Amino acid sequence: MLLPSSTHLINERLIDTAAGVAIASLFSFVLPSWEYRALPQLIRNVLRQNQRYIEASRGLLQAEVADDFIYRLCRKRIMDCLAELGAALVRMLDEPVSKHRSVEDINQFIARNYLVVAHVAAIRLLLRSHPEGLPEASVDVERACDRVRDTLAQALQSLERPAPPIEQPEMVTDPRHTCALSEKETWPARRLLQRHIGLLQADAADIAVRSVTIDRILRLHD
């Protein structure tokens, strides 16, 4: 540093740079760590945390718990898992095209999970805005949460223990149809609630199917 014109110092710098380039090339092309290899665990984490979020939401929407701390904690965890999966997807897109895996399914998987969180928040706001007739609405909410939880659990089980292809859960997926489930509605927001429930169940079913599809593609190209 005191003698910048020293050729000896320059040669040492060049040798260090060449060694660094060689090491970087070795790990980039010979021993790479492709992002798609981390996707299966990230998908499982999202399903697991979403299942816990639905369980926490069920207790809160049913007014079984007064404090929403567990609900907010589970919501934060599912958001963190989705952000981690989204970051992995972005990094994978920066890699060679030959190393891209199920990009569209992963993108839709992330979007559907965000929609599930949004539907639960909308249902919670709806119940708080129309407290009258809550026991009647609680039955619909309880059934919906149970079905969504079971759908996510089935998807997670299929990933952790390879099994026959998962089938689309038998549930009402058309929101227009859910509005006509009850001819004699006594709760003023019943139709809107049924619409959100239908969308919630439809998105949960799509999450289950896409998670298995992604897992198959990753296993096929691994």
Mean pLDDT, 10 residues at a time, the chain of 222 residues = 57 81 67 86 96 93 84 96 97 92 96 96 87 69 92 92 52 43 58 91 96 92 68
Which pLDDT value is given to residue 140?
A: 83
DSSP labels for 124-142? HHHHHH--TTHHHHHHHHH
Which pLDDT value is given to residue 183?
A: 40
Which pLDDT value is given to residue 12?
A: 77
| Residue from 62, 112, 64, 63 nearest 86 by CA | 112
CA distance 131 to 177: 25
Which pLDDT value is given to residue 135?
A: 60
> Model pTM greater than 0.95?
no
CA distance from start to end of the chain? 50
Contacts for 197 with CB less than 8 Å, ≥ 6 apart: 123, 140, 141, 144, 178
Task: Measure the CA dihedral 95/96/98/102, to 10°.
Answer: 30
Please write down the long-range contacts of 136-142, taking CB distance under 8 Å and 24 or more positions apart: 136/186, 136/187, 136/190, 137/187, 137/189, 137/190, 137/193, 138/61, 138/62, 138/63, 140/190, 140/193, 140/194, 140/197, 141/58, 141/61, 141/62, 141/193, 141/197, 142/58, 142/62
